[in-house]
Amino acid sequence: MKGKPLQVPMRDVIEDEMLSSSVVKDMNALDFDYIPEELPHRDEQLRFLAQMFKPALSCISQNVVIKGPVGTGKTVIAKKFCKSIVNIARKQGKIIEYVHINCRKRSTDAMALLGILNHFDSRFPDRGFSVQEMLEVLRKQLKKRDAQLLVVLDEADALLKKSGSNLIYALTRFSDELSRDKSPVSLLLISQKDVLSMLDSSALSTFKRSNIVHLNKYTRDELFDIVRQRVDLAFHRNTVNEECVDLIADIASEWGDARFSIELLWKAGIAADHQHVQMVVPEHVRAAKAETYSIVTESKLRNLERHQLLTLHAIAKRLKKDGTAYVNTGDAEKTYAITCEEYNEKPRTHTMFWNYLKDIEGSGFINIKPSGKGHLGTTQLISLPDIPAEIVSDKVEELLR
């Protein structure tokens, strides 16, 4: 009697994948919130911060601004510096409380203040207190602890845009009027934009023009060192081919953005793992680049104003619909007007529309060139050189909502 062939148990693909080895030894070190012990090429700026905040150790409050383009280390140097100053103060028997507020997430005075109060009392109710009352609670908290407060308002332009400079003003004039103490609050404002120009004159008067840390885009060689450091922190020995670090530095140097370079490294590592190979090679980096540029797009899009987004949306929609390489400016403007209606916005003037075109061209999203024959006067042709129209319109739509 012929028996049935033995059923070989099917390998569990899930278990197989989950337990397969990885080139990464510490995924944590590739996280954007991770703070490395050393920050290559930012010593000078950390030293500058230390010089400016030195008086804070003697309870003299300071107000400082960090400014620089995307991914230049503004947030990470602020976190590193603030953690250090808290420890240094503690060794001297003083208390500095450090609170880091992301103003993109907390863009009103009340939300930002609530973030500060939650540092002292995580159960502080998120409703029922006015800004004035919350400031009073904060004053009491600081007095009770005999503490100084160092507030970082990260992406401060979002707060200023939405709520103006009232909170910043209140925090810089926080001294107890009765006892005429020095203000116990120091501020560190972080932004890609020129936030001082967004402050009203009374708030501005407490900021010195010299108290600005300027961060420049990283050069190719600086990015090389940053990526090299992450390879050592995050990957097993000899799993990342040296050329990969070169290639990542080359690619990311176009933006000078450390976040982008770390992202490429991380994605390249994942690509190697997916292929179950023990070595990250340049082909993985190229694959990572193809995948990552949509993320870069997103962070650049976040910097556009609403009508710039509407303009870009109109162009992308039109190109997608027509399936053409170019859309002329007249058609783009018509589609812009329709798009505005869809989003309950009043279309801006013709001149403003041209300004938006110039702005988004400046951000690198579109190219504008003179049209050939057969078009009237100022008509020009717009194209999206790098990014598929579909990706642009999806992402812009998300932001517009």
- Residues in touch with Mg ion (CB under 5 A): 74-75
The four Cα atoms 125, 129, 133, 136 give a dihedral, to 10 degrees, of 10
Among Mg ion, ligand ATP, none, residue 324 binds (CB under 5-8 Å by kind): none
Under rule CB under 6 A, residue 40 binds ligand ATP: yes
Minimum gap (Å) between residue 102 Cβ and Mg ion: 8
Of 351, 348, 340, 295, residue with least CA distance to 314: 340
Under rule CB under 6 A, residue 114 binds ligand ATP: no
Minimum gap (Å) between residue 332 Cβ and Mg ion: 33
Handedness of CA 273, 300, 254, 77 (dihedral sign): negative
Under rule CB under 6 A, residue 363 binds ligand ATP: no
Minimum gap (Å) between residue 344 Cβ and ligand ATP: 30
Give the footprint of ligand ATP on residues 198-227 (CB under 6 A): 226
Minimum gap (Å) between residue 207 Cβ and Mg ion: 20
Q: Please give the C-alpha separations between residue 333 and each of 303, 336, 348, in angstroms, as whole numbers.
A: 22, 5, 10
Residues 258-287 as x/- pattern, contact with ligand ATP by CB under 6 A: xx--x-------------------------
Give the footprint of ligand ATP on residues 138-197 (CB under 6 A): 192
Of 255, 260, 250, residue with least CA distance to 291: 260
DSSP state of 223: H
Q: Using the rule CB under 6 A, which residue among 23, 29, 39, 96 binds ligand ATP?
A: 39
- Count helices and strands (H / E) in the chain: 16, 8
Among ligand ATP, Mg ion, none, residue 192 binds (CB under 5-8 Å by kind): ligand ATP
CA distance 160 to 207: 15
Among ligand ATP, Mg ion, none, residue 284 binds (CB under 5-8 Å by kind): none
Name the residue nearer to ligand ATP (CB basis): 41 or 318. 41
Under rule CB under 6 A, residue 32 binds ligand ATP: yes
Minimum gap (Å) between residue 249 Cβ and ligand ATP: 13
Give the footprint of ligand ATP on residues 290-319 (CB under 6 A): 299
Of 167, 171, 152, residue with least CA distance to 65: 152
Name the residue nearer to ligand ATP (CB basis): 32 or 278. 32
> Crossing angle of helices 306-322/350-362, nearest 10°?
80
Name the residue nearer to Mg ion (CB basis): 32 or 341. 32
Residues 50-89 as x/- pattern, contact with ligand ATP by CB under 6 A: ------------------x-xxxxxxx-------------
Name the residue nearer to Mg ion (CB basis): 258 or 280. 258
CA distance 241 to 246: 10
Residues 6 or more apart whose CB falls under 8 angstroms from that of 101 comprise 112, 115, 116, 151, 152, 153, 154
From 52-60, 232-240, 241-249, 256-264, give the range in contact with ligand ATP by CB under 6 A: 256-264
Among Mg ion, ligand ATP, none, residue 71 binds (CB under 5-8 Å by kind): ligand ATP
Name the residue nearer to ligand ATP (CB basis): 100 or 317. 100
Residue with the CB atom nearest ligand ATP in the bound state = 73
Residues 228-247 as x/- pattern, contact with ligand ATP by CB under 6 A: -x------------------
Give the binding-site size for ligand ATP (rule: CB under 6 A).
21
Q: Please give the C-alpha separations between residue 269 and each of 25, 29, 38, 220, 240, in angstroms, as whole numbers.
A: 11, 13, 22, 21, 8
Name the residue nearer to ligand ATP (CB basis): 259 or 313. 259
Parallel/antiparallel/unpaired status of strands 327-328 and 380-383: antiparallel
- H or E stretch at 1: none
> Crossing angle of helices 74-91/43-53, nearest 10°?
50
- H or E stretch at 63: strand 63-67
Write down the residue that tokens 């290559």 correspond to: 40
Structure token digits, residue 369: 């060139």
CA distance 278 to 266: 15
Q: Using the rule CB under 6 A, which residue among 23, 29, 41, 138 binds ligand ATP?
A: 41
Under rule CB under 6 A, residue 382 binds ligand ATP: no
Binding site for ligand ATP (CB under 6 A): 32, 36, 39-42, 68, 70-76, 192, 226, 229, 258-259, 262, 299
